[in-house]
Structure 1
Amino acid sequence: MLNTTTWNRLRYSAYAPLYDMVVSRALRKPRRLALGQVDWEPGMRVLLVGAGTGLDLPFLPRELEVHLTDLTPAMVKRASARAERYQRDVACRVMDASALEYEDEYFDVVIMHLILAVMPNPEKGLAEAYRVLKPGGQLCVMDKFQPDSAPSTAGRRALNMLTSFIATDITRQATPLLQQAGFHIQRDEPVLMNGLFRALLAAK
């Protein structure tokens, strides 16, 4: 299997120095749109899962308690530096999204941007997000998804062999994943590349 936790740690350690240059500008607007769907309130406890170098931080409101995790120490180091640059008090930790080290029902909001298409087992990541969210808590997702209404074509599956090795799975469907985890989808908007990238807001 090409997509494993060990492989993800290795490749994203290598990608870390170039990550901002590659994804920052192209995904700036989708990040802002996705986070704009959340019903923010001062004092919320927020978790960014698989947060990379912390590119979501500039779009988060102030007066939040923010926790940030990523599988890769190199990414967390850059995220911590970004938080300091933006004068944000953020608890940054190296952590596997499929085994979060937080108590049940600890967060008001969980943000999963560009991670569900990368994880070897997104079902485990969503189960953990569900566990750490308070009842009624919000899940903010932005990622690449195949349309819910159609199965993968042979061409897409063949291309996915390459994209999965380099960075990401392009055959996952958002609605089944979120609903099977117990989430109720409240908003679902295309944000880039004719709907390949979608922003979803779901509730526990």
Structure 2
Amino acid sequence: MASPDKVAAVKELTQSLRDADGVVLTDYRGLTVKQLQELRRSLGEGASYAVAKNTLTKIAARDAGVELDESLLVGPTAIAFIKGDIVEAAKGLRDFAKANTPLVIKGGFLDGKVLDADEIRKLADLESREVLLAKLAGAMKGNLQGAVSLFSAPLSQTARLVGALEAKRAEESPAAPAEAPADAAPDSASDDAAPESASDDAGTEG
């Protein structure tokens, strides 16, 4: 029978996994207590960082309904539980790992998708959620209601929406004048149906 301490630890880990918008698992071997404190500060206000036993993390992930790659649970593990701006925390982890080589980013998950270390580093290269939303709001040309509806969207969905919007705007931007055949069919614009449907799909993501 598991000890009360282990039961309590699993319960706490399970709740943290359920509450987090994203999770990053790291190997912290070689870091001092002072460095761990600095790392916690670098993650931003919406993130916490805690050392966790691999066996308990495996049980907690199962209890939380999280599909976690068990290959990440090898060696000492500390977990960043992130709420809010995933990009800010990813940047903090990436930059800290560059300055403090003992820290190794193993991988994690976001929006139910398992991420490897390279994907987390790519996530750190994105602009922050606030910047993406500001650009999207501006690009919507005053459609305030549509912009506001996206503020609760997960970051990955917002990024996809921005990409879809930029593609749509590129399709609609005036191209260099070209001599069209005199007998060009007036309904030729209907060939652009695919970009329209892409825009519709993007609108439903949020």
Q: TM-score range by the shorter chain?
A: under 0.3
TM-score, normalization by structure 2: 0.26
Q: Which has the larger radius of gyration?
A: 2
Under a length normalisation based on structure 1, what TM-score does the superposition of the two structures give?
0.26
